[in-house]
């Protein structure tokens, strides 16, 4: 018995069919949709579009840290794992920063324990990789004296250049509280510079 023409056509279609993966949309809304749908290129697109800006945020808060890239990767991974909690896909960028800051806070706690044990957290390799000057390293030693919430707000505003409104959004804090944290952080930073001769000399020279 010869196969029907319809059966033959179906076999030919099956043997020649090709799965076409459409590109991930350029918008954050389209990217979130692609991530939720399990698009094959969505994770790569997420990293390509946002990893550099997230690295700058992490570097602004942490300073020299040899695990910086791993921290950013962990933040991205946790963002994807908790993506169902993102109500508005248009807020993806703020969502990514907020998840990253949660990871950064844990890193700050680990480093604080290391300091209590007399261990160094910023290796020469980390300082050389990110081109940290002696003055910048001294600045981050001063920042180590601040409470974590003050440090994060100060670094996001004064170093990264984020607006107070955006900081309030990513930290999920009232704007008035962000202003208060920034004021206290600025005062404490200025007060603690006396313990860093490099910064004190620079301050005298610029006066």
Closest CA to 64 of 150, 155, 161, 141: 141
Please give the Cα distance from 155 to 182 (Å, whole number).
Answer: 9
Distance (Å) of CA 206 to CA 83, 199, 201, 203: 48, 11, 9, 5
CATH architecture of 133-207: Orthogonal Bundle (1.10)
Q: Indicate the CATH number for domain 25-122.
A: 1.10.1740.10
Q: Would you list the domain boundaries of the chain?
A: 25-122, 133-207
> First-to-last CA distance in the chain?
100
Give the CB-side neighbour count of residue 49, counting CA atoms within 13 A.
17
What is the sign, positive or negative, of the torsion defined by CA atoms of 119, 123, 126, 131?
positive
Per-residue pLDDT of the chain (207 residues; tens, 9 = 90+): 455 544 544 445 444 454 445 688 889 999 999 999 888 889 999 999 999 999 999 999 999 888 999 999 999 999 999 999 999 999 999 999 999 999 999 999 988 887 766 555 454 444 555 566 778 888 898 999 999 999 999 999 999 999 999 999 999 999 999 999 999 999 999 999 887 877 754 443 443
């Amino acid at each position: 018995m010869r196969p029907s023409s319809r059966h033959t056509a179906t076999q030919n279609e099956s043997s020649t069919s090709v799965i076409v993966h459409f590109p991930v949309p350029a918008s954050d809304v389209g990217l979130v949709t692609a991530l939720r749908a399990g698009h094959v290129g969505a994770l790569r697109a997420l990293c390509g579009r946002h990893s550099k800006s997230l690295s700058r945020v992490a570097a602004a808060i942490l300073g020299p840290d040899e695990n910086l890239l791993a921290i950013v990767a962990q933040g991205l991974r946790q963002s994807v794992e908790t993506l169902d909690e993102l109500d508005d896909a248009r807020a993806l960028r703020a969502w990514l920063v907020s998840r990253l800051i949660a990871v950064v806070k844990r890193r700050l706690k680990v480093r604080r324990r290391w300091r209590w044990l007399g261990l160094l957290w910023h290796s020469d390799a980390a300082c050389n990789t990110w081109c940290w000057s002696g003055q910048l390293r001294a600045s981050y030693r001063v920042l180590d004296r601040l409470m974590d919430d003050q440090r994060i707000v100060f670094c996001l505003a004064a170093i990264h250049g984020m607006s107070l409104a955006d900081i309030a959004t990513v930290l999920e804090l009232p704007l008035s509280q962000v202003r208060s944290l920034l004021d206290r952080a600025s005062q404490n930073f200025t007060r603690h510079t006396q313990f860093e001769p490099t910064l004190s000399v620079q301050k005298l020279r610029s006066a």
